[in-house]
């Protein structure tokens, strides 16, 4: 694992485990930077020995969905480019310990209701303006704005005050302790406060990151050039990065096989076998579970307002078949959202709803139904369509006829946020790969206060709020997480199907690619070899 970020000499010369504040609310580490490693049968490209990195070259990334500026501050399938233009305050390593980025060190208050951040002093935006504490204050307030549709708005809203101690030290004051503050720090891009309205229109993205956005051709792709004033000396190695929108699976595969593109995270699972057999290409999996496919249920649409019907649907879907046929075996069939790396994961939860069409029919019958007709919205991309078709087939076997409603990614995301989904939908979700409480206070499908399923429960809200503001470790934390999991399984308003890590297809000539915990592409150390 290579060092990804430098910090102050003091911060890098020691490893300090900060004392837990607020009964374990902020149990955090400070140390050498880490990375999310991609793992495959062969070692990932980033880990292979090779020539000394040389500057130069253009990396072409094949993506299957275009940039959506209005979703710049939300987590979505269109977020891959975020970390090229923008930095964040901190970044998790593989052990979910925060590492320095624009923040060099931090100290929580004993009661968990404040944290002091020391910031880098050598950072400038692409337009030359120095980065200061005012930019962090703006970033927090920006995510508090409901117009930004940011999933971590609840955590940002817990910040109620700011105390500047010069341009590069800042105290964030909290209304109450939260144990996912560093989820916010990695999620929150530090955008230019003077041009934010231009940013959400796609006119100007001014950040502190390793690349500058130089071109956006709607429907075609994005162009980036090296930021020669980047605060990491000698980085990035690449001169330029191009994102090419290739929505058709066959064309995307051809782009990789012919060398027109050197990197993609959008190859459908059914094509990964072909990729693995292609000389010069490597398949790597980020196994920490950055996302999951799920079946969403609108609980205000009869008879889906009956949890017995929803439980029937949960038992009707063959998760293992979806894993093998749609994801090519990369991932984990699971009835809960938690990857194995999550402290909320249990094997009992994962296997709670096994494939049992007979039991599913019995449940439907007990609820007074033998046949149902329901609409199912899905994203009109190859992998997402394959999941929807698999669900459609399985539900048909228990007497539920499903009519598919293919929808473009941006429109589907807007329906998700606006809570205007039909009876059923299939999409992917994130946020289970970080602190467990984040899923239920942040992700649109699971949000206890306002979720896409329109599910409400006082017991669910109580468990989520206690898990969010309580300790991050220990018996009490485990009990609260289990209460959340039990509610998700019993109420089945979101029916998880398969946990999927990001699957990277890349040229063997490409080295040093990583993703952060929110699946944004990190290319600081990326380079091409001969």
Is CATH 3.30.2130.10 what the domain over 291-500 is classified as, yes or no? no
272: closest CA among 290, 249, 248? 249
Ranking 112-116, 129-133, 258-262, 440-444 by mean pLDDT, the lowest is 440-444
Task: Determine the pLDDT at residue 52.
Answer: 67
Question: pLDDT-derived band of residue 13, with 50, 70 and 90 as boundaries?
Answer: very low
Residue 4 has pLDDT above 90, yes or no: no
**pLDDT tens column, 240-255:** 999 999 989 899 999 9
What is the rounded CA–CA span in Å between residue 167 and residue 327?
48
Average pLDDT over residues 85-106: 95
Q: What is the DSSP letter of 207?
A: -
Question: 334 pLDDT exceeds 90?
Answer: yes
The pLDDT value recorded for residue 117 is 98
Phi and psi at 59, nearest 5°, equal: -95, 130
Whether residue 381 contacts residue 409, with contact meaning beta carbons closer than 8 Å, is answered with: yes
d(CA 152, CA 89) in angstroms, rounded, equals: 15
Q: How far apart are CA 281 and CA 503, in angstroms?
A: 13
DSSP state letters, 35-87: -B--B-SSBPGGGS--SPP----EEEEEESS---GGGTTS-STT-TTHHHH--
Average pLDDT over residues 369-373: 96
- The mean pLDDT value for 365-378 works out to 97
Percent of the chain, pLDDT > 90? Answer: 77
Chain mean pLDDT for the chain = 89
Distance of CA 110 to the CA centre of its chain: 30
Instruction: Check residues 75 and 73 and name the one with the higher pLDDT.
Output: 73
User: Looking at residue 179, what is its pLDDT?
Assistant: 93
Cα gap 285→275, rounded to integer Å: 13
Copy the structure tokens of residue 468: 């969010």
Question: Which stretch of 285-289, 291-295, 377-381, 386-390 has the lowest confidence by average pLDDT?
Answer: 285-289
Burial class (CB in 10 A: 0-12, 13-18, 19+), 39: middle
What is the distance between the alpha carbons of residues 230 and 33, in angstroms, rounded to a whole number?
Answer: 18
Task: Quote the CA–CA distance of 425 and 445 in Å, as a whole number.
Answer: 11
What φ, ψ does residue 476 adopt, rounded to 5°? -60, -45
Q: Is the pLDDT of residue 24 over 90?
A: no
pLDDT at 460 over 70: yes
Q: What is the pLDDT of residue 95?
A: 84
Is the pLDDT confidence value at 77 over 80?
no
Question: ∠ CA 108-90-35 to the nearest 5 degrees?
Answer: 130
pLDDT at 28: 35
Closest CA to 119 of 130, 109, 127: 130
| 97, 441 Cβ separation under 8 angstroms | no
115 contacts 171 by C-beta, under 8 angstroms = yes
Provide the pLDDT for residue 38: 53
């Amino acid at each position: 694992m290579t060092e990804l970020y430098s910090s102050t000499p003091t911060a890098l010369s020691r490893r300090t485990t900060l004392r837990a504040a607020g009964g374990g609310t902020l149990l955090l580490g400070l140390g050498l930077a880490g990375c999310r490693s991609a793992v495959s049968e062969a070692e990932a490209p980033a880990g292979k020995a090779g020539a000394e990195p040389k500057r130069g070259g253009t990396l072409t990334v094949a993506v299957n969905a275009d940039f959506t500026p209005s979703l710049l501050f939300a987590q979505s399938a269109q977020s891959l480019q975020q970390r090229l233009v923008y930095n964040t305050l901190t970044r998790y390593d593989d052990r979910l310990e925060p590492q320095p980025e624009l923040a060099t060190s931090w100290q929580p208050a004993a009661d968990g209701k404040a944290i002091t951040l020391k910031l880098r002093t050598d950072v400038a935006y692409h337009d030359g303006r120095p980065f200061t504490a005012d930019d962090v204050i703006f970033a927090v307030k920006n995510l508090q704005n409901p117009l930004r549709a940011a999933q971590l708005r609840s955590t940002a809203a817990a910040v109620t005050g700011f105390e500047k101690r010069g341009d590069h030290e800042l105290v964030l004051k909290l209304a109450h302790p939260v144990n996912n503050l560093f989820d916010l720090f990695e999620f929150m891009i530090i955008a230019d406060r003077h041009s934010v309205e231009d940013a959400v229109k796609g006119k100007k993205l001014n950040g502190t990151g390793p690349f500058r956005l130089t071109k956006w051709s709607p429907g075609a792709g994005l162009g980036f050039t090296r930021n020669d004033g980047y605060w990491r000396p000698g980085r990035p190695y690449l001169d330029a990065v191009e994102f090419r929108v290739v929505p058709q699976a066959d064309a995307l595969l051809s782009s990789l096989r012919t060398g027109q593109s050197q990197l993609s995270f959008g190859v459908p699972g059914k094509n990964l076998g072909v990729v693995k057999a292609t000389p010069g290409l490597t398949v790597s999996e980020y196994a920490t579970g950055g996302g999951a496919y799920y079946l969403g249920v609108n609980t205000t649409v009869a008879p889906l307002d009956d949890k017995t019907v929803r439980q029937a649907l949960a038992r009707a879907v063959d998760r293992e078949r979806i894993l093998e046929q749609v994801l090519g075996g990369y991932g984990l069939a699971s009835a809960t959202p938690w990857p194995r790396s999550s402290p909320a994961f249990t094997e009992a939860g994962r296997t709670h709803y096994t494939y049992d069409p007979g039991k599913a029919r019995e449940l439907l019958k007990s609820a007074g139904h033998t046949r149902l007709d329901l609409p199912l919205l899905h994203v009109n991309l190859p992998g997402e369509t394959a999941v929807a078709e698999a669900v459609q087939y399985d539900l048909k076997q228990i007497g539920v006829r499903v009519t598919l409603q293919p929808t473009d990614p941006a429109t589907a995301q807007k329906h998700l946020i606006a809570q205007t989904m039909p009876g059923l939908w299939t999409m992917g979700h994130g946020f289970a790969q970080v602190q467990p409480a984040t899923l239920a206070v942040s992700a649109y499908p699971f949000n206890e206060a306002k979720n896409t399923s329109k599910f409400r429960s006082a017991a669910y809200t109580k468990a989520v709020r206690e898990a969010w503001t309580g300790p991050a470790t220990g018996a009490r934390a485990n009990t609260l997480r289990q209460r959340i999991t039990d509610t998700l399984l019993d109420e089945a308003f979101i029916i998880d199907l398969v946990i999927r890590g990001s699957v990277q297809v890349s040229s063997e000539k490409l080295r040093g690619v990583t993703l952060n915990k929110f699946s944004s592409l990190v290319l600081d150390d990326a380079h091409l070899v001969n």
